[in-house]
Amino acid sequence: MSRGVPVSRKRFEWRLPGRSERWLSTTKIPLRDSSGLIVGSFGISRDITEKKRFEAELEQKGFYDPLTQLPNRAMFDKRVERLVTRSRLLGPSAPLFAVVWLDLDRFKCINESLGHCAGDELLVRTARRLEACLRPGDVLARVVGDQFTILLDDLHSESDAVRVAERIQNAMSVPLTVAGTEVFTSVSIGIALSSSGYARHDDMLRDAYTALYRAKAAGRARHEIFDADMHRRAVDQLQLETDLRRAIERQEWLVYYQPIIDLQARRLAGFEALARWRHPCRGLVMPDVFIPTAEETGLIRPLGMWVLREACRQMRTWQDQYHNIPPLGIAVNLSPRQITQIDLPSQVRSILEETGLPASSLTLEITESSLMQSLQAGAAVLQELHEMKVHLDVDDFGTGYSSLAYLQSFPVQTLKVDRSFIRSMHAGTQQSEIVRAIVGLAHNLGMDVTAEGVETPEQIRSLSALHCRRAQGFYFARPMPAEDAERLIAEGAPAYWDEALSATSMSGSS
């Protein structure tokens, strides 16, 4: 300025030192002589402390979570974007960093049982626990609900991120007392590393979340590191969900029927109805591929109702056509989501009225684990179905944690012993004794027993000797299309059935 270099007016914001913070906005204007040279300057200052406080409040609201006081998703995104840009500019020499995505397991259950205030307290205390597990420079954010993210910079290797995850899981395994109740929590964790060479921060966040999703699907309370196969599986899963929605609309479904045999009467007792997906590109898709996705997306409800309606319609047709044989029954599986549907009994009643099938000809099967997960919500639904004269079976019995005495409180008529016990059932084996105990206790409680997964005549004889009522499995027949099932009804049991069932009759009389 002393050399006369042209200077326009300049505005500065600066903070006054002192005990009370003050901010000033100062505008300086050059003074010129008659020849235009700058000979001095004067300034005007204005107190902008309130403006600065207001801006700070806006930043706090815009970039921080009001409950935990942690950075929010917007702030976290900016931090990740900055490091992704750094890695792109520096290339291989850039420091390694990781995005860690955490989710509190069972938070919804805790929130609903103890209340939202207790849920908020749990989130705040979780935030403090997580902070205690991190280094001073690490960034912890609450992104949504019960989910948190962590940005770990300047890592030496993947192991550094894993150690942080393990430290967090150990800390979270210690119970907390919330609203006077001791609460056990755990976290599932997904990790994405910058070594994958991300061009966009959104992709890194997506991959961390994908790894989290994988950790939860693998059993929760664990961590997973993202890899390329995980992304491929996530894309395949998304495509499966899209195809599944279209399949519901286009009714790309078939019902297959597996025979259920009455060992005591030595005849066909009915069928279990099983869904098959007639995919336009993949061909016939089995339930273990699409049922988990249908459960997760809620599509199991319309699919389940379609299977129930079609199975009831088909069974009523067979009963009318083959009225000279003892009435056959049809068994249909219920999913955990269906059990908790308050309107399920009315839907079942409507389908029975529509198809004309007697309620006593319908059996609804609930897996043991589903029953244990839906104790309160499902009890009233099951009781109403029982009052309608619909039979209720517990499927896959022996794989869960229920007791027969506990099951007595539910209106259950039959236990289906899981195939894992039948497969290795030989005289004198532990599995054989378990089946014997289940059959004996079930009979004492007034329940019948059906054995699943029967594959040999020896198993049939052993089950008959234990007075097991019914059996099904590949020995009798695999699940079959409706036309093959009708042929079985019309032509009667194959000769090898008669041989095995006759042998059971002789062993029982001896």
Query: Could you tell me if residue 40 is inside a domain?
Result: no
Burial code (b: 16+ CB inside 10 Å, e: under 16) for 475-499 equals bbbebbebeebbebbeeebeeebee
- The residue type found at 166 is E
Residue 212 · residue 189 · CB < 8 Å: yes
* pLDDT on residue 369: 78
Contact 167, 173 (CB under 8 A): no
Reading the block at residue 79, the tokens are 């931090």
| Helix or strand (DSSP H, E) at 30 | strand 22-32
Answer whether 448's CB lies under 8 Å from 233's CB. Answer: no
Residue 17 is assigned to a structural domain of this protein: no
Total domains present in the chain = 2
What's CA 98's distance to the chain center, in Å? 25
pLDDT number for residue 93: 92
Q: Where are the beta strands (DSSP E) in 48-146?
A: 96-104, 139-144
Helices in 196-343 by DSSP H: which ranges? 201-217, 228-250, 287-297, 300-321, 336-339
Q: Averaged over 265-282, what is the pLDDT?
A: 94
Same domain, 396 and 435: yes
Mean pLDDT value across residues 416-421: 88
pLDDT for 501 beyond 50 = yes
Last residue of a domain, one of 167, 194, 226: 226
The per-residue pLDDT for 391 is 96
pLDDT number for residue 55: 65
**Do 312 and 429 share a domain, yes or no?**
yes
Co-location of 308 and 168 in the same domain = no
Are 372 and 495 part of one and the same domain?
yes
- pLDDT range class, residue 201, cuts 50, 70, 90: very high
Q: How far apart are CA 324 and CA 320, in angstroms?
A: 9
For residues 65 and 127, state if they share a domain. Answer: yes
What's the CA gap between 100 and 193, in Å, rounded? 9
Encoded tokens for 424: 């290795």
Q: Does residue 316 share a domain with residue 220? A: no
> Are both 151 and 212 inside the same structural domain?
yes
Taking 80 as the threshold, does the pLDDT of residue 376 lie above it? no
**pLDDT tens-place string over residues 420-479:** 888 877 756 777 888 888 899 888 888 999 999 999 998 998 899 889 999 999 999 999
pLDDT at 9 over 70: no
Q: What is the pLDDT of residue 217?
A: 83
Average pLDDT over residues 174-191: 91
Q: Are residues 199 and 254 located together in one domain of the fold? A: no
- The pLDDT score that the predictor gives to residue 1 is 43
123 confidence band (pLDDT: 50, 70, 90)? very high
Residue 492: give its domain's CATH number: 3.20.20.450
Token pair 């210690």 is found at 174
Q: What is the mean pLDDT of residues 480-485?
A: 96
Domain presence at residue 50: no
CA distance 76 to 139: 8
Based on the fold, state whether residues 356 and 279 are members of the same structural domain: yes
- H or E segment to which residue 392 belongs: strand 391-397
Q: Could you tell me the CATH number of the domain that includes residue 108? A: 3.30.70.270
CB within 8 A of 245, min separation 6: which ones?
A: 297, 299
Last residue of a domain, one of 200, 226, 252: 226
At residue 401, the pLDDT reads 56
Q: 3-state SS string over 145-186?
A: CCEEEEEEEEECCHHHHHHHHHHHHHHHCCCEEECCEEECCC
Of 196, 226, 256, which one is at a domain's C-terminal end? Answer: 226
pLDDT at residue number 186: 92
Domain for residue 371, yes or no?
Answer: yes
Range(s) of the domain holding residue 119: 57-226
Determine, yes or no, domain membership for 194. Answer: yes
**180, pLDDT greater than 70:** yes
> Greater confidence, 19 or 455?
455
| Strand pairing class (187-193; 223-225) | parallel
User: In terms of domains, do 348 and 434 share one?
Assistant: yes
Report the pLDDT value the prediction gives residue 4, as an integer from 0 to 100: 42
What does DSSP say about strands 448-451 and 414-417: parallel, antiparallel, or unpaired?
parallel
Q: Report the C-alpha gap between 210 and 212 in whole angstroms.
A: 5
Query: Cα–Cα–Cα angle for 237, 239, 240, nearest 5°?
Result: 65
pLDDT above 60: residue 199: yes
Determine how many CB atoms are found less than 10 A away from the CB of residue 218.
12
Confidence of residue 284 (pLDDT cuts 50, 70, 90): very high
Co-location of 209 and 72 in the same domain: yes
Question: How much is the average pLDDT of 281-298?
Answer: 90
Kindly tell me if the per-residue pLDDT of 508 is higher than 60. no
Mean pLDDT over the full length of the chain: 87
Residue 159 lies in a domain: yes
Whether residue 362 lies inside any domain: the answer is yes
3-state class (DSSP) for residue 21: coil
Average pLDDT of the segment spanning 221-236: 85
Q: Which of 140, 104, 138, 102 is nearest to 122 (CA)?
A: 104
Q: Is residue 1 part of a domain?
A: no
State the Cα–Cα distance between residues 91 and 81, nearest whole angstrom: 15
The mean-pLDDT minimum among 75-84, 115-124, 230-239 falls in: 230-239
Same domain, 333 and 391: yes
pLDDT exceeds cutoff 50 at 5:
no
pLDDT bin (cut points 50, 70, 90) of residue 111 is confident
